[in-house]
Amino acid sequence: MGQSTSTVNNCPMSLSPVFVSDDVLADEIAISSHGDYTKDIPDDCLAYVFQFLAGGDRSRCSLVCKRWLRVEGQSRYRLSLNARAGILSLVPSLFERFDSVSKLSLRCDRKSFSLNDEALAMISVLCRKITRLKLHGCRQITDLGMAVLAQNCKSLKKVSFGSCTFGAKGMNAVLDQCSALEELSIKRLRGIYNGNELIRPSAAASSLKSICLKDLVNGQIYEPLVIGCKELRTLRIIRCFGDWDKVLGMIGSENSLLTEIRLEKLQVSDLALVAISKCLKIEILHMVKTAECSNSGIVSVAASCKQLRKLRIDGWRMNRIGDEGLIAIGKHCLNLQELVLIGVNATHLSLTAIAANCRKLERLALCGSLSIGDSEIACIAAKCLALKKLCIGGCAISNVGIEAIAWGCPSLIKVKVKKCRGVSTRAMDWLQGRRASLVVNFDSTSEMEVQDSSGNDAGGEESGMDFSFLSEVVVLADGRREALAG
Say which range, 21-30, 198-207, 238-247, 382-391, has the weakest mean pLDDT: 21-30
Intrachain domains 42-76 and 78-232 with the same fold: no
Q: How far is CA 258 from CA 138, 221, 308, in A?
A: 32, 21, 12
* Cα distance between residue 270 and residue 309, in whole Å: 21
Identify the band that residue 411 occupies on the pLDDT scale cut at 50, 70 and 90: very high
Q: How far is CA 460 from CA 22, 387, 403, 456, 484, in A?
A: 61, 25, 37, 8, 20
pLDDT average, residue stretch 88-113: 92
At residue 70, the pLDDT reads 82
Residue ranges per domain, the chain? 42-76, 78-232
Identify the band that residue 360 occupies on the pLDDT scale cut at 50, 70 and 90: very high
pLDDT average, residue stretch 217-233: 90
- Phi, psi dihedral angles at 295 (to 5 degrees): -55, -35
| Cross-strand pairs, 81 | 106
At residue 462, the pLDDT reads 40
HSE toward the beta carbon, residue 466, CA cutoff 13 A: 6
At residue 22, the pLDDT reads 55
Q: Does 473 score more than 50 pLDDT?
A: no
In this predicted model, which residue has the larger pLDDT, 364 or 194?
A: 364
At residue 35, the pLDDT reads 66
Query: Pseudo-torsion of CA 59, 60, 66, 69, nearest 10°?
Result: -10
Classify residue 356 as left (phi > 0), alpha (psi -120 to 50) or beta.
alpha
pTM of the full predicted structure? 0.81
Task: Report the mean per-residue pLDDT for the chain.
Answer: 85
The CATH number, out of the four listed (3.40.190.10, 1.10.20.10, 3.80.10.10, 3.50.50.60), of the domain defined by the range 78-232: 3.80.10.10
Q: What is the pLDDT of residues 429-442, one digit of tens each?
A: 999 999 999 999 99
**Which fold would CATH assign to domain 42-76?**
Monooxygenase (1.20.1280)
* Cα distance between residue 211 and residue 198, in whole Å: 16
Say which range, 54-63, 214-223, 357-366, 398-407, has the weakest mean pLDDT: 54-63
Q: Does 24 score more than 60 pLDDT?
A: no
pLDDT average, residue stretch 206-228: 92
- Percent of the chain whose pLDDT exceeds 90: 65
Identify the band that residue 449 occupies on the pLDDT scale cut at 50, 70 and 90: very low
In this predicted model, which residue has the larger pLDDT, 165 or 14?
A: 165
Cα-Cα end-to-end distance for the chain: 68
Amino acid type, 274: V
Q: Does 145 score more than 80 pLDDT?
A: yes
Say which range, 132-141, 250-259, 399-408, has the weakest mean pLDDT: 250-259
Is the Cβ–Cβ distance between 229 and 254 less than 8 Å?
no
* Cα distance between residue 299 and residue 271, in whole Å: 12
At residue 66, the pLDDT reads 80
Is the Cβ–Cβ distance between 273 and 301 less than 8 Å?
yes
